[in-house]
Amino acid sequence: MATNTGGLSLTQQRQRAAFWFIAPMLAALFFVAAWPLIRTIWFSLTNTALSDLYGGEWIGFDNYLSLRILESGRWIWRGTLVDPAWWNAVWNTVRFAFVSVFFETVLGLIVALVLNAEFKGRGIVRAAILIPWAIPTIVSAKMWAWMLNDQFGIINDIMLNLGLIDQKIAWTASTETAMYAVLMVDIWKTTPFMALLILAGLQMVPRDIYEAAKLDGVNPVKVFFRITLPLIRPALAVAIIFRMLDALRIFDLVYVLTPNSAATKTMSVISRENMIDFDKFAYGAAQSTLLFAIIAVFVSLYIWLGKVDFSGEGQR
Amino acid sequence: MSGQKLLSTIGFYALVVVIVVFSVFPFYYAIVTSFTTGTDLFKINYWPRAFSWANYETVLGGRNFVRSIWNSVFIATTTVVFALFLAVTASYALARVRFRGRGLLLMMILAVSMFPQIAVLAGLFELVRFLGIFNTPWAMILSYVIFTLPFTVWVLTTFMRDLPVEIEEAAIVDGATPWIIITRVFMPLLWPALVTTGLLAFIGAWNEFLFALTFTSSETTRTVPVAIGLLSGASQQEIPWGPIMAASVIVTVPLIILVLIFQRKIVAGLTAGGVKG
């Protein structure tokens, strides 16, 4: 089989070429991903300041947690892990991630089922749902900030006219509603993406299954829960975890829609704030390292649950 | 029976209308607002009443916003060209050549694309400062590699896997080297995939906010999302909603047109990046 060229077998020759093809990409990824990550973790173990990046000293895990026992016998815990602002951000992020992904999945499923049906104007619906996805996040944040404006916002006007509320709400400013505002915009913007991922799963379900069920006179609701849902479960699981990872690292929408609101501040927002704005560079680095650890767990879950075919052999 | 059927058809189309209205209304309202000026802004208009280009003149007349558009175009284009250049050869090797550790490598690439960007922010900040590119477009071009490169490699690898083996075998029999196979045999077949992947990576780079916010410090180096995000009036109370909406429409319309043109391809590319496997 091997056609020898210059003493190397064809396979060897191809493997050597492959190495040189992959090396530049790996070098680039090391340079922009691996190395900065290592440096971030390193910074989190020092007391480096933003203004003097090379003047930091090793302080071990003090940014995460440290204990000092005073002479009076009092114990004083310090560090991110006992910082209420950090735990507030963790709670905000987790709440945001679960609620938004839940609604995006349910609504995405509905939209996907609609798009999977055959009807006149399907192309228009598909085009329409791509619009929220195509709009940059910052632009969506501004558009919705305007629509949710307390004085002149159209959302308040619509809700007043429908009798859903009896006075105007300061959606983005008030601490009770700020999270709803962020959730609203994120669900609006990301449901299309979810719908498209689920639709891809739906389209892999063979049509004849539905026809057989129809012939047998099975109730459509039953068809959905007994046939469709089990069949698209793998695709659904992967889509949910994929979205979850995105939701856990959310930064831009929160930063622009509800600036400086403790009710919505997420892990990414608080880390950057400490790092860049508050001159607690190393402390912020410790917080971002914690976020990285949390997301790493989810990534492992994704790879495990998704059973992604890395070898490229078999299955297909 | 037929009455019930009619009812369910009506229900279905009502759902369709709701979906379309929800998707399109916010952007429609932004367009309406962008043509409204003065005190009309503070009346709630469901339909366009006035029609004035004043907000657009304000936005485009200020030199910084036009500058931001050029910054964004330059940064996103350079990033995509660089990422595609590295990704084509790498994904050929990953899709077509068997070697040990290929699965692990692909897993690593996928993991990097799901990285929280905040986790590398401190390290990248140091790198950007060290290279002396803080507050220049190169800071963004460098940092955007972190999400454009894994994405392009991943999607192109899935595309290339699906190309028939016979084409390559014929080329190998003719004595073509891997480089010739990529440039002469695969590239012509890959054009559609390259356009789609490039477009998606371009949108990603165009929309990025965290790095652009952190690595710029003056108005002239801002990218479009940062410029819009930080666009403010003389005081906190006076947010210039008209110009903000005009700016939003300006940067969104080209994206929407591109997305609608490449609809089917984009859907295929997105699902390849997300759930293929």
Predicted pLDDT of residue A3 = 46
Residues B159 and B180 in one domain: yes
The minimum CA-CA distance between A69 and chain B, rounded to whole Å, is 31
Record the tokens describing residue B202, joined without a space.
């371009």
Which of A32, A86, A107 has the highest number of chain B CBs within 10 A, making it the mutation to test binding with B?
A: A32
Domain count, chain B: 2
Predicted pLDDT of residue A316 = 34
Tell me, yes or no, whether B117 lies in a domain.
Answer: yes
Q: Are A119 and B16 in contact (CB under 8 A)?
A: yes
Q: Give chain B's mean pLDDT.
A: 86
Comparing CA positions, the residue from B76, B62, B20 lying closest to residue B246 is B62
Structure-model confidence comparison of residues B271 and A206, the more confident one: A206
Tell me, yes or no, whether B141 lies in a domain.
Answer: yes
| Pairwise CA distance, residues B147 & A153, whole Å | 36
Predicted pLDDT of residue B19 = 93
- For residue B270, list chain A residues with Cβ-Cβ distance below 8 A: 193, 196-197
Residues B59 and B36 in one domain: no
Comparing CA positions, the residue from B194, B203, B188, B189 lying closest to residue B258 is B203
- Average pLDDT on A160-166 reads 88
Among B24, B143, B213, beta carbon nearest to A131: B24
3-state secondary structure labels for all residues of chain A: CCCCECCECHHHHHHHHHHHHHHHHHHHHHHHHHHHHHHHHHHHCECCECCECCCCCECCCCCCCEEEECCCCCEEEECHHHCHHHHHHHHHHHHHHHHHHHHHHHHHHHHHHHHHCCCCCHHHHHHHHHHHHHCCHHHHHHHHHHHCCCCCCHHHHHHHHHCCCCCCCCCCCCCCCHHHHHHHHHHHHHHHHHHHHHHHHHCCCCHHHHHHHHHCCCCHHHHHHHHHHHHHHHHHHHHHHHHHHHHHCCCHHHHHHCCCCCCCCCHHHHHHHHHHHCCCHHHHHHHHHHHHHHHHHHHHHHHHHHCCCCCCCCCC
Amino acid (1-letter code) at residue B88: V
Contacts by residues A270-279 (CB-CB < 8 Å, ≥ 24 positions apart) = A270/A85, A270/A86, A270/A89, A271/B118, A271/B121, A272/B118, A272/B121, A272/B210, A272/B214, A275/A50, A275/B121, A275/B122, A275/B125, A276/A50, A276/B125, A276/B214, A279/A49, A279/A50, A279/A51
Least confident of A283-287, A305-309, B74-78, B222-226: A305-309
Q: What is the CATH number of the domain that holds B146?
A: 1.10.3720.10
Residues B29 and B129 in one domain: no
Residues B78 and B11 in one domain: no
- Average pLDDT on A92-111 reads 95
* Residue labelled with tokens 């996928």: B110
Residue B220 is classified by DSSP as G
| Cβ distance of A36 and B124 shorter than 8 Å | yes
Among A110, A139, A291, beta carbon nearest to B118: A291
Predicted pLDDT of residue B275 = 43
* Residues B79-101: tens digit of each pLDDT: 999 999 999 989 989 988 888 88
* Residues B4-44: tens digit of each pLDDT: 888 888 999 999 999 999 999 999 999 999 998 877 777 77
pLDDT bracket for residue A206 (50, 70, 90): confident
Least confident of A95-104, A270-279, B53-62: B53-62
The minimum CA-CA distance between A204 and chain B, rounded to whole Å, is 12
Tell me, yes or no, whether B164 lies in a domain.
Answer: yes
- For residue B98, list chain A residues with Cβ-Cβ distance below 8 A: 11, 15
pLDDT above 60 (res B155): yes
| Cβ distance of B112 and A33 shorter than 8 Å | yes
Predicted pLDDT of residue B272 = 65
Least confident of A237-246, A298-307, B22-31: A298-307
- Average pLDDT on A138-153 reads 91
C-alpha gyration radius of chain A: 26
Least confident of A145-159, A163-177, B42-56, B191-205: B42-56
Predicted pLDDT of residue B114 = 79
| Cβ distance of B263 and A127 shorter than 8 Å | yes
- For residue A248, list chain B residues with Cβ-Cβ distance below 8 A: 116
* Residues A11-38: tens digit of each pLDDT: 888 888 888 999 999 999 999 999 999 9
Residues B30 and B129 in one domain: no
| Cβ distance of A25 and B110 shorter than 8 Å | no
pLDDT above 70 (res A165): yes
| Cβ distance of B260 and A119 shorter than 8 Å | no
pLDDT bracket for residue A151 (50, 70, 90): confident
The minimum CA-CA distance between B137 and chain A, rounded to whole Å, is 16
- For residue B275, list chain A residues with Cβ-Cβ distance below 8 A: 197, 200-201, 235, 238-239, 242, 306
Q: Report the Cα A253 to chain-centroid distance in Å.
A: 12
Half-sphere exposure for A74 (CA within 13 Å, toward CB): 5
Residues B36 and B61 in one domain: no
Contacts by residues A6-10 (CB-CB < 8 Å, ≥ 24 positions apart) = A10/B172
Tell me, yes or no, whether B241 lies in a domain.
Answer: yes
pLDDT above 90 (res A7): no
Residues B36 and B103 in one domain: no
Comparing CA positions, the residue from B181, B130, B204, B189 lying closest to residue B156 is B189
Amino acid (1-letter code) at residue A52: D
Q: Give chain A's mean pLDDT.
A: 86
Residue A115 near chain B (CB below 8 Å): no
Q: Which fold has domain A95-265?
A: MetI-like fold (1.10.3720)
* Residues A261-280: tens digit of each pLDDT: 889 999 999 999 999 999 89
pLDDT above 60 (res A124): yes
Name the closest residue on chain A to residue B109, using Cα atoms: A29
pLDDT bracket for residue B276 (50, 70, 90): very low
Among B16, B27, B266, beta carbon nearest to A125: B16
Complex prediction ipTM: 0.88
Residues B34 and B79 in one domain: no
Question: What domain range includes position B26?
Answer: 2-42
- Average pLDDT on A84-93 reads 94
Name the closest residue on chain A to residue B162, using Cα atoms: A316
Structure-model confidence comparison of residues B120 and B262, the more confident one: B120
Predicted pLDDT of residue B224 = 92
Residues A252, A257, A263, A265: what is their CA dihedral angle, to the nearest 10 degrees?
20
Among B112, B117, B271, beta carbon nearest to A197: B271
* Residues B173-223: tens digit of each pLDDT: 888 888 888 888 888 888 888 888 898 899 899 999 999 999 999 888 999
